[in-house]
Amino acid sequence: MHVPSIGSVQPLHERKGINNRLLLALPPATLDRILRVSEPVSLVRGQRIDCADQPIKHIHFINRGLVCIAKTVEDGRTVEIGAVGIEGVANLLPFVGIQKTILDVIVQIPGTALRMGCDVLRRDLENDTAFRQVVQDYARFSLSELARHIACGRLHHIEQRCCHWLLIAHDNALSDDFPVTHEFLAMMLGYQRAGVSIAMHSLVKAGLIEHKRGAVTVVNRPGLEAAVCDCYREMRNELDEFLPPAKTARVFGFKQNKIAGRR
């Protein structure tokens, strides 16, 4: 058995399973420092990480799972404004010095995150040029993705948009199986439930997914990628320009499932 010698201790970022692409883009010393002042937390479906008009106490680097940024209107209906997974953080506002959130941040695909206090975050941003640069690149991507999300909702067919959301969920669940209902997907897409049900049924009939008991199983990812609108490919290409790929590793003691159809 190999016993590491004194002075050859692995850096923290090599001893923990890190899938968050923003963290993976940081220099090792910066990442190790962030890991020392952060804590791993579970993300439970339906959990509100941040609530509209409330102070933001922590920033969450998503390590597995998906959260949605949502707006609730006066009649109680909720519409998704955007979704965040392992590419970044659950709420971008603390990065630009805003201390009270504008929208709700809700966990939709359960998983894990690294939670860091906003006061510590602000100090690190002030003192670390490399961290600031990665954050600036991520902020630019987030604004671009928001514009893309709005355009997609206006211009593309519901079946294409279902494929888009399912691929994003698949990327971030790090599993072929994840929870989703027609009601939830209708809310995410801002579309009538009946139309979403028809679109999902067509994807099942085409052999791209299985959907039962409030859960989806992706069985033909290449087929989903062939059927999706260009927005998904544009998003992936833009991310790949400045962020490294996610690892497939153990995440804070949570074992990931095999992901089918990945390249």
pLDDT at 261: 40
Alpha-carbon span 234 to 164, nearest angstrom = 11
pLDDT at 92 over 80: yes
pLDDT at 263 over 80: no
pLDDT at 73: 83
pLDDT at 246: 61
Contacts of 238 (CB under 8 A, 6+ apart): 141, 144, 145
Q: What is the mean pLDDT of the chain?
A: 85
pLDDT at 247: 52
Token pair belonging to 191: 């579309």
pLDDT at 66: 96
Inter-residue contact 88 to 172 (CB < 8 Å)? no
**Mean pLDDT, to the nearest integer, of 191-202?**
91
Report residue 248's pLDDT band, with 50, 70 and 90 as the boundaries: very low
Residues 9-34: pLDDT tens digits?
A: 344 444 468 999 999 999 999 999 99
pLDDT at 244 over 90: no
Total Cβ atoms within 10 A of residue 14:
11
pLDDT at 255: 37
- Helix, strand, coil share (%) of the chain residues, nearest 5: 45, 25, 35
CA–CA distances in Å: residue 42 to residues 177, 185, 203, 226: 18, 23, 31, 33
**Mean pLDDT, to the nearest integer, of 43-47?**
94
**Which of 49-53, 55-59, 110-114, 151-155 is the least confident region?**
151-155
Ordered domains of the chain (ranges, CATH): 17-133 (2.60.120.10)
Inter-residue contact 192 to 177 (CB < 8 Å)? no
Report residue 204's pLDDT band, with 50, 70 and 90 as the boundaries: very high
Give the DSSP letter string of 169-190: HHHHHTSSEEE--HHHHHHHHT
pLDDT at 80 over 50: yes
Total Cβ atoms within 10 A of residue 145:
20
Task: Please give the share of the chain, as a percent, with pLDDT higher than 90.
Answer: 65
pTM for the full model?
A: 0.84
Judged on CB neighbours under 10 Å (0-12, 13-18, 19+), 204 is: middle
Alpha-carbon span 117 to 12, nearest angstrom = 19
Residues 139-189: pLDDT tens digits?
A: 999 999 999 988 998 899 999 999 999 999 999 999 999 999 888 888 778
pLDDT at 251: 36
Task: Please give the share of the chain, as a percent, with pLDDT higher than 70.
Answer: 87
